[in-house]
Amino acid sequence: MAKVSLQNVSKFYTGSKKSKVTAVSNLTLEINHGEFMVLVGPSGCGKTTTLRMIAGLEEIDGGSIHMDDTKVNDLEPKDRDVAMVFQNYALYPHMSVLENISLGLKLRKFPKPEIAQRVEEASVMLGIQDLLNRMPDQLSGGQRQRVAVGRALVRRPKVFLFDEPLSNLDARMRIQMRMELTELHRKLGSTMIYVTHDQAEAMTMGDRIMVMNNGSLQQVAPPLTIYRKPVNQFVASFIGSPPMNLLKLHSVKITDQAHLPGTDSVGILRLPGEVVIGENVHHVIGFRPEQGHLLEEDELLTHDSSKTLLIKGSIQWLEPTGADIFVHVLAGPHKIIIRETSEMQWKVGQQVIIKVPEEELLFF
Ligand SMILES: Nc1ncnc2c1ncn2[C@@H]1O[C@H](COP(=O)(O)OP(=O)(O)OP(=O)(O)O)[C@@H](O)[C@H]1O
Ligand SMILES: [Mg+2]
C-alpha cells in the first residue's frame, strides 16, 4: 500500500487540426495509504487519463506524481508497482485463466512455487478455483471480471487502479461485484483508485469520492459530504439520482404572501427570511428530492411555515419506484422532483404546495 500524491498534474492531447485538448488540468490531490478513492465524472472529463498517468501509461505534461516519497514522473509502468484493471478486461483469449493470471508474475521471473501459491490464494479469494483451466471465451462476464481482478491481485501491487471495471456487467452482477470488490479492499487494505461514471457505485464504494468535470477537480470528500454539501452546481446535479433540485432565483417573482393559499399564481410563494434577492443576484437554491414535502393546497393553513421555502405548482408526472414515488412538479419556470412515500395518492394535474425547511436549503 502506498500514498499517491498528484501536484498540479496536467495532460494535453493534440486534437483535430492540431488543436490542444486539455484532458486533465492542474490536478492536485492526495490519496492516502489504504484508501478506496472513487473518481467520478461525465464521459470525457479525464478519468481514464488520470489513471493512466498514475500507472505511467501516459506521460504527464505538467506537475508531478509521487508514490509515498518517490517521484514517479519518469518511472516506467513496470517500476511503479501499480496494477490496472481495465473496462474490457483485456484477457488474452488464447490463454487459460491460469495462464492469464500468472503471466505477469512469469514475466517478472517469479519462482514457480511462489506463482502457484499466489494464484491459489487469489483464486480462492475470488471464488474462481474451478475455472483455472477454462479459456476466457468459456466464461461469463462476471467471471472474466474476476479473472481480470485476479491478474492484478497476484501482483500484490502497492496501488490498484480500476477503470470502470463493472460497466459491462448486468445490474445484478454489478451490485454483486461491487460488494466483492469492497470486501476485497477491506481484506487487503491496499490503496485503490476506482473510476466509474455510476454515481451509485461511487456513493457505496468510496472512502472518498473525487468529482471531475472538464479535466478539473470539482470536489473531493467522503460520499455523504459530497451528497449533502456539494461545493457547486455541477457536483450537486451529478451526484444523486434523481439529481438535486436547483432553482434559479433571478427568474423568481415572489407572489403576495398574505394571500396564501388560494392564490392562482404558480411558482415560489415564500422564501425563508434570510434569502435576499437583489436585482442582479443570480443565486441558485438547491434541495434534494427527499428534503421537500408535498402538501395538498388546503393543508397549508395548518402548517407553520415561516421558516420554509414554499412553492406552488401542479403535478406533471409520477414516477413510482416501488418503495417511493418521485413526483414531478411544474412550478412556473421550475421543474422540481419530490420523493414521497408510495401510499400517498398523488394525481397528475393536482395542485400542490412544496415545502422545504430552511435548514435543508443550499445556496450556490
Ligand atoms: N489519445 C488521445 N488523443 C486526443 N485526445 C484524447 C486522447 N485520449 C483522450 N483524449 C481526450 O481527453 C479527454 C479526456 O479523456 P478520458 O479518456 O480521460 O475521459 P474519461 O473521463 O475516461 O471518459 P469516459 O467516461 O468516456 O471513459 C477527452 O476529451 C478525450 O477526447
Ligand atoms: Mg474512460
Q: Where residue 211 sits, what CATH number does that domain have?
A: 3.40.50.300
DSSP conformational letter for 16? G
Of the listed ranges 47-51, 187-191, 257-261, 274-278, the one predicted with least confidence: 257-261
Q: Is the CB of 48 under 6 A from ligand 1?
A: yes
Q: Do residues 85 and 178 share a domain?
A: yes
Q: Do residues 197 and 89 share a domain?
A: yes
Give me the chain's average pLDDT, please. 87
Query: Which of 238, 255, 271 corresponds to the end of one domain?
Result: 238
Q: Is the CB of 134 under 6 A from ligand 1?
A: no
Q: Do residues 157 and 52 share a domain?
A: yes
pLDDT at 348: 95
Q: Do residues 74 and 204 share a domain?
A: yes
Query: Which residues span the domain enclosing 260?
Result: 245-363
Which residue from 227, 352, 351, 340 is spatially nearest to 289, judged by alpha carbons? 340
Q: Do residues 350 and 211 share a domain?
A: no
Query: Which of 192, 216, 238 corresponds to the end of one domain?
Result: 238
CA torsion sign for 206, 43, 364, 265 is negative
**C-alpha cell at position 243:** 439529481
- Measured by CA distance, the residue closest to atom 7 of ligand 1 is 13
State the distance from the centre of ligand 2 to the C-alpha of 23, rounded, in angstroms.
11
Report whether the peptide linkage leading into residue 261 is cis, meaning its omega lies within 30 degrees of zero: yes
> Beta-strand (E) ranges in the chain?
4-14, 20-31, 36-40, 62-67, 70-71, 82-85, 159-163, 191-196, 208-213, 216-221, 245-248, 267-270, 284-287, 293-296, 308-320, 324-331, 334-341, 351-357, 362-363
Which residue from 195, 234, 182, 193 is spatially nearest to 364, judged by alpha carbons? 234
If one residue of 25, 45, 51 were mutated to test the ligand 1 pocket, choosing by the most ligand atoms within 8 A of its CB, it would be 45
State the distance from the centre of ligand 1 to the C-alpha of 21, rounded, in angstroms.
9
Rounded to whole angstroms, the Cα distance separating 59 from 55 reads: 10
Residue 167: which pLDDT band, with cuts at 50, 70 and 90?
confident
Query: Which of 208, 238, 268 corresponds to the end of one domain?
Result: 238
State how many domains the chain has: 2
Q: Is the CB of 59 under 6 A from ligand 1?
A: no
Of the listed ranges 76-85, 282-291, 292-301, the one predicted with least confidence: 292-301
| pLDDT higher than threshold 70 for residue 251 | no
Backbone angles phi, psi at 134, to 5 degrees: -80, 160
For residues 135-146, give the mean pLDDT: 88
Rounded to whole angstroms, the Cα distance separating 245 from 115 reads: 53
Rounded to whole angstroms, the Cα distance separating 138 from 97 reads: 10
| pLDDT higher than threshold 80 for residue 357 | yes
Burial class (CB in 10 A: 0-12, 13-18, 19+), 292: buried
- Measured by CA distance, the residue closest to atom 6 of ligand 1 is 13
pLDDT at 142: 83
Q: Do residues 19 and 79 share a domain?
A: yes
For residues 70-99, give the mean pLDDT: 90
Judge whether 315 and 354 are in contact, CB under 8 Å: no
Q: Do residues 178 and 257 share a domain?
A: no
Q: Say which residues have a Cβ less than 8 Å from residue 203's Cβ, sequence separation at least 6.
A: 209, 223, 227, 239
CA atoms within 13 A on the CB side of 212: 28
State the distance from the centre of ligand 1 to the C-alpha of 178, rounded, in angstroms.
25
Q: Do residues 107 and 127 share a domain?
A: yes
Q: Which residue has the cell 422540481?
A: 336
pLDDT at 272: 59
Please state the atom number of ligand 1 nearest to the C-alpha of residue 49. 18
Q: Is the CB of 13 under 6 A from ligand 1?
A: yes
| pLDDT higher than threshold 90 for residue 38 | yes
Q: Is the CB of 45 under 6 A from ligand 1?
A: yes
Rounded to whole angstroms, the Cα distance separating 155 from 150 reads: 9
Q: Which residue has the cell 415561516?
A: 306
Rounded to whole angstroms, the Cα distance separating 117 from 361 reads: 55
Please state the atom number of ligand 1 nearest to the C-alpha of residue 215. 14
Q: Do residues 48 and 194 share a domain?
A: yes
Q: Do residues 56 and 121 share a domain?
A: yes
- Measured by CA distance, the residue closest to atom 16 of ligand 1 is 46
Q: What is the b/e burial string over 48-59, where b = at least 16 CB atoms within 10 angstroms of the residue's CB?
A: bbbbbbbbbebe
Please state the atom number of ligand 1 nearest to the C-alpha of residue 41. 21
Q: Do residues 318 and 191 share a domain?
A: no
Judge whether 54 and 82 are in contact, CB under 8 Å: yes
Q: Say which residues have a Cβ less than 8 Å from residue 298's Cβ, sequence separation at least 6.
A: 261
Q: Do residues 249 and 215 share a domain?
A: no
Cα separations in angstroms, 86 against 147, 286, 293: 12, 36, 43
Task: Give the CATH number of the domain where residue 271 resides.
Answer: 2.40.50.140
